[in-house]
Every structure is written in structure tokens, then in C-alpha cells.
Amino acid sequence: MMQYSFIINRKRKFIEQKEFAKQNLLGSGSCGTVFKMEYKPSKTKLAVKVMSRTTSDEENKRIIMDLDVVVKSYDCSYIVRCFGYFIRETEVWICMELMATCFDKLLKLIQQCIPEYILGKLTFSTVTALTYLKEKHGIMHRDVKPSNILIDEQGNIKLCDFGISGVLIDSMAKSRNAGCAAYMSPERICPSTQEKPDYDIRADIWSLGISLIELATNAYPYQN
């Protein structure tokens, strides 16, 4: 039986996977599936990302990067908090705080522009998270978009999903990992040198800007 040390209600505990009860599906994507689960002893509700381990080196790198970033960013209030994880032969679980929704779903739900005061808070939270990642861990997110920006029931806004984050070398990223082209900066879509792309955290700011325009106007800015 696999056991891991978790932080539940600010206390470190040694727990087993069987102590979690799956409740419902929260979302899914290329990097995994997220379920709402309950830690039965304390009835704590969590969001658990379940990622399948495969023979693909690229997919496994995403899992490692996502797990590494969220675990070591526990002290940042603007990055979704990880309470613990399970690593098994076939899959990895990342157990995180439960947020209410992402801004992509929120926009589709309300079908109207997000108020300016909320966008101001979103901007501050996201830029603070991006600055933290760069200054403390030397990485950039590379997939900033409304579906990766979460809000909880108290109005706290946090960044999530770090599977394609990139390590910065002399403040520059050196690889062309996949991302969402709709929010990708020009220098990432068409780098001056295909073999050795160079871009920095400003590419994430571009992605944030596109996201803000979409949320502020209830329309993606480039219709064609």
C-alpha cells in the first residue's frame, strides 16, 4: 500500500490513497483529468489531478514539471496550493486546494464582460505569480490563458497548470514546447531562429494581455 506525507488542515499527515473518495469530474485536458475528491477522515474537499504515466518522454516530462512547480510553490498565495501527491506505476495524483472555477468557464457561464475591478485583481494576482516563478525558481509558465487562472469562493485568484513551464537560461527560454496558439506571443509562434528560439517572460505577459481583452469584452480579440 502506497503512503505519502500530506499537509491537511495545516497539519502534516501520513495517509493512503484509499482515504480519498472521488465525488465528481471538474475538468479534463491534454495533461490530465481533475476530480473533486474528499479526504474522508477530515471531510476536506480537494481538487485532484490524475495524470497517466505513458511511454512518451514528452508526456512524462510534463507530469514531472507540473508536479515540481506546484510542490515547490506552496508558499506563493497566487499559485494553486498542493497538499501532497501519489506516484504509482501507471498514474500520478496531485492533490490541490479546491477552487470554484476558472475564468474560461466563468465567462461562458455569465455570458458578459468581467467587471474591471475583478480584472484588476486578476492582473495583480497573475503578474505576482509569474514574477514569483521567475525570481524564485527561474521558470516561466508558457500557457497563460483564462482556463489556467482560477478563482475561489472568497474571490482569491490563482495560477495553475504548469506542465509546459520552461526553465529560463539567462532569463531566456530555449525550447519550443506546445501551448495554446490563440494566446501565444508572436516570437513564440514565429521565432527568428527555428532551431534556437529565444523568448522571455514577456511572452507570458502577452498571453495575459490577450486573456484580459477576451475577459473584458466577452470576445476573443482576433476573429480571423
Instruction: Read off the CATH number of the domain in which 188 is found.
Output: 1.10.510.10
Please tell me whether residues 113 and 186 are part of one structural domain.
yes
Provide the phi-psi class of 170: left if phi over 0, else alpha when psi is between -120 and 50, else beta.
Answer: left
Cell of 167: 526553465
Catalytic residues, by residue number, are 143
DSSP state letters, 163-189: TT-EEEETTEE-------GGG--HHHH
Looking at 80, 97, 114, the residue that finishes a domain is 97
- pTM for the full model? 0.88
- Asked if 7 contacts 46 with a C-beta cutoff of 8 angstroms, the reply is no
Q: Residues 174, 111: contact at Cβ < 8 Å?
A: no
- Higher per-residue confidence, 15 vs 210: 210
* HEC profile of 111-142: CCCCCHHHHHHHHHHHHHHHHHHHHHHCEECC
> 68: domain range?
3-97
The DSSP bridge pattern shows strands 44-52 and 32-39 to be: antiparallel
Looking at per-residue confidence, does 158 or 60 come out higher?
A: 158
Place of cell 504509482: 88
- Is there a domain that residue 52 lies in? yes
Residues 81 and 14 in one domain: yes
Buried b (16+ CB within 10 A) or exposed e, 4-19: eebebeeeebebeeeb
pLDDT in tens, 77-119: 999 999 988 988 888 999 999 999 999 999 999 999 999 999 9
Return the top range by mean pLDDT from 16-30, 128-142, 154-168.
128-142
**42 shares its domain with 133:** no
Residues 115-140 pLDDT 10s = 999 999 999 999 999 999 999 999 99
> Comparing C-alpha atoms, which of 143, 151, 77, 141 is closest to residue 107?
151
Is 222 part of any domain? no
